Amino acid sequence: MDKNHRSTVLPLALALLLLCGFDLRDPRVPLEEIRGGGPPKDGIPALTDPAFVSSETAEREFLKKTDRVLGLVLNGQARAYPVKILNWHEIVNDTIGGKPVVVTFCPLCGTGMVFDGEIDRRKFTFGVSGLLYQSDLLMYDRQTESLWSQIMGQAVTGSKSGTKLKLLPSAQTTWSEWKKRNPGSLVLSVQTGHRRDYFRDPYENYEQSRDLMFEVGAQNPAYHPKEKVVGIELAGTAKAYPFPELAKVKTPVKDEVRGVPITVYFDASSQTATVRDKDGNELPSVVGFWFAWTAFHPDTEIFRGKNP
C-alpha cells in the first residue's frame, strides 16, 4: 500500500470505528488494517441466555450425525454448539455451572474458540463488531466497548487493550463423535429468538476455494489456504499440526514445543484433533484454516509427518 492510499484509508477506518462508538485508545494493531466485514455492529447478533435441548430433540429436529459442532465440557457439563448456528451468530455468551463463557466462531477463519467470560473477577459479555482484523472476527465487550481479536485472544483497543482472555479447551468435531464421547451433552437450540435459516450454509463452498474474502498480511503457500490445522502456543512458541501431516502418522503423536512435552490425538474420520500435556490434561488449542494460523503466527513451527 502506497503512502497516499494509506493516509486515505486510515481516516476512513477511524471514521468507521468512531461511528460505531468503539473505544480506540491504546491500539495494539494498526487501525488502518481493520476492515468492515459487511454487516454493521450487531448486524450479526450474538446470543445471550441461549436455550439448549437434549441430544434426542436436536437429532429429531435439526442435527445430523455429520454436522460439525464446537464442543465444550466444563464443571462436568457437556454442551455442543452446532456450526450451522454459529455461522449466523458467531458469539454465544453462555453460563455453565455458574461459570460464564464466551463461545466464538469465525466462519472466515474456521476458528472456534471458547474463552472464560470473567475478566478481573467481573463478568463480560461480547457482541459482534462487524469488523475484521486479518480476516478474523473482532469482538467488542458491552462493558467498555473495547475491541478484541478472536485469534489473538486479547483486547486490541480501548480501556482493556492488551488484556488477555483465558482460552479454554474445546473441540471441533462431528456431532456423532461428540455424542459418542459425551452422551449426555446438551445442544444449542435453533430457537434463538432470531429468524435465520439454520439449514442453509451462508459460507457454502468457501472452505474448498483458495480465495479469501478479505486480505491478510503474511501467507504461507505450503498448504491450501483453507487446510485445517491444530495450533498451539507454549512458552512463547507457536506450532501448527496440519491435518494432512497428522494423517500420515499413527496417533497419538508425541512431540515437544519449546521443550514442553505434548501429545496430539487425531481422528481422520471425524477430522478431530486435541492436544494433551504429559499428565493427560487437555490443553487449549486452536483448530482453524492454515492461512488464519499463519497470518497471526508467521513464524510458526510446523509438524511434518513421514509418508508411510
CB environment 16-48: b (16+ within 10 A), e (fewer): bbeebebbbeeeebebbbbbbbeeebeebbbbe
Based on the fold, state whether residues 181 and 37 are members of the same structural domain: yes
Based on the fold, state whether residues 270 and 177 are members of the same structural domain: no
Q: What's the confidence (pLDDT) of residue 15?
A: 61
Residue 209 domain-assigned? no
Q: What's the confidence (pLDDT) of residue 218?
A: 77
Q: What's the confidence (pLDDT) of residue 8?
A: 38
Domain interval for residue 40: 3-188
- Among residues 210, 275, 277, the alpha carbon closest in space to that of 240 is found at 275
Residue 208 domain-assigned? no
**Domains in the chain: how many in total?**
2
Residue 173 domain-assigned? yes
Reading the block at residue 15, the C-alpha cell is: 471514521
Based on the fold, state whether residues 164 and 261 are members of the same structural domain: no
Residue 238 domain-assigned? yes
CB environment 117-135: b (16+ within 10 A), e (fewer): bebeeeebebbbbbbbbbb
Based on the fold, state whether residues 184 and 40 are members of the same structural domain: yes
Q: How many CB atoms lie under 10 A from the CB of residue 75?
A: 8
Residue 201 domain-assigned? no
CA angle in degrees (0–180, nearest 5) for 163-292-86:
80
Q: What's the confidence (pLDDT) of residue 67?
A: 98
Based on the fold, state whether residues 72 and 173 are members of the same structural domain: yes
Based on the fold, state whether residues 39 and 168 are members of the same structural domain: yes
Based on the fold, state whether residues 48 and 178 are members of the same structural domain: yes
Q: What's the confidence (pLDDT) of residue 308?
A: 52
Residue 160 domain-assigned? yes
SS3 for 48? strand
- Side-by-side strand order, sheet with 260-267: 253-257, 260-267, 272-277
Residue 307 domain-assigned? no
Q: What's the confidence (pLDDT) of residue 1?
A: 34
Q: Is the dihedral of CA 222, 223, 226, 231 positive or negative?
A: negative
Based on the fold, state whether residues 153 and 236 are members of the same structural domain: no
Based on the fold, state whether residues 39 and 114 are members of the same structural domain: yes
Based on the fold, state whether residues 11 and 84 are members of the same structural domain: yes
* Domain end among 135, 169, 188: 188
Q: What's the confidence (pLDDT) of residue 287?
A: 98
pLDDT along the chain (308 residues), means of 10: 36 60 93 90 96 98 98 97 98 96 98 97 97 97 97 98 98 98 97 97 96 90 97 96 97 96 98 97 98 97 85
Q: What's the confidence (pLDDT) of residue 204?
A: 94
What is the value of pTM for the model shown? 0.93
Based on the fold, state whether residues 139 and 45 are members of the same structural domain: yes
Phi-psi region of 149 (alpha: psi -120 to 50; beta: other; left: phi over 0): beta
Based on the fold, state whether residues 164 and 245 are members of the same structural domain: no
* Domain end among 188, 220, 248: 188
Q: What's the confidence (pLDDT) of residue 6?
A: 32
Q: What's the confidence (pLDDT) of residue 89?
A: 98
Residue 221 domain-assigned? no
